[in-house]
A = this chain, B = another copy of it.
Amino acid sequence: MQLALASAGLAPALNPRLVPAAMPRPEPRTVARRTFEADEEIYTEGDRAAHFYRVVSGAVRTYRLLSDGRRQIDGFHFPGDIFGIEAGDEHRLSADAVTGSVLAVHRRSDRDALAQDAGALARDVVDSMMRALGRAQDHMMLLGRKSAKERIASFLLGLAERLDAAGVVDLPMSRIDIADHLGLTVESVSRSLTQLERAGIIELPAHRRTVVLRDKAALRRLDA
């Protein structure tokens, strides 16, 4: 069986900011780059998993669809994050760009080769998988047991940790994306955000894609 980081909740995979241990390593010799525009498909469930990816800039969502169109976004991936490593020959999830994005494209065979020695990339991959698993566990708790408001609080805190510019989070994704990630509807997401704003915990300036976390402590309390 081949290796593979599938990409569950797993974003902060190799994000240097978050993984000091696995940090300042230059990109392998020749790594292809590809640019994707917003909503462009990167791969679909069932595609041969010939490559895996590292986000250079932008944001990516990985998700699954039910036959009737219901969607579950398992994770968002930001610069530094690795996604698309699969266990089998096929991608088990679909992936597409949330916004215009640049990705470093790695051949799967590179990984397999590197996985042979206890090399750095191998460790990275395992590292990624572990993080993916951890995130998936957190997310299962969220989806199975948390209320709408708690989910939003969790989500905002998580994003802040990964994207933070000191309490100001710029959401690259739509309310629908958030809903499909948190197991809610757009309307519920919108309402919860409004409630948090009215409570003075967050601020939603003008264009609504920015969130100012006014009171992280309150968010943490809400997060249960």
Residues of A within 8 A of B (CB): 1, 3-6, 8-9, 21-22, 64, 66-68, 70-72, 74, 87, 92-93, 116, 118, 123, 126-127, 129-134, 136-137, 139-141, 143-146, 180, 182-183, 224
Closest to A184 in B: B144
What distance in Å separates the Cβ of A127 from its nearest Cβ neighbour in chain B?
6
Alpha-carbon distance A14/B132, docked complex (angstroms): 20
Known A74-B140, A140-B74, A141-B66: A133·B8 in contact at CB below 8 Å: yes
Residues of chain B lying within 8 A (CB to CB) of residue A1: 21-22, 123, 126-127, 130
Alpha-carbon distance A182/B22, docked complex (angstroms): 36
Q: Which 9 A-B pairs have the closest CB atoms?
A: A144-B183, A87-B130, A136-B136, A143-B143, A72-B141, A6-B133, A70-B145, A72-B144, A143-B144
Alpha-carbon distance A70/B150, docked complex (angstroms): 13
Residues of chain B lying within 8 A (CB to CB) of residue A116: 118
Assuming A67-B224, A87-B130, A140-B140, what are 15 further A-B pairs, CB within 8 angstroms? A5-B133, A6-B133, A8-B137, A9-B136, A70-B145, A72-B144, A72-B145, A87-B127, A92-B137, A126-B126, A126-B129, A129-B130, A133-B133, A136-B137, A144-B180
Closest to A116 in B: B118
Residues of chain B lying within 8 A (CB to CB) of residue A68: 224
Alpha-carbon distance A74/B21, docked complex (angstroms): 28
B92 close to A145 (CB less than 8 A): no
Alpha-carbon distance A75/B66, docked complex (angstroms): 22
What distance in Å separates the Cβ of A18 from its nearest Cβ neighbour in chain B?
12
Residues of chain B lying within 8 A (CB to CB) of residue A183: 143-145
A66 close to B140 (CB less than 8 A): no
Closest to A10 in B: B133
A-B residue pairs in contact (CB < 8 Å), sample of 5: A1-B22, A64-B141, A87-B131, A140-B140, A143-B143
Alpha-carbon distance A66/B147, docked complex (angstroms): 12
A140 close to B137 (CB less than 8 A): no
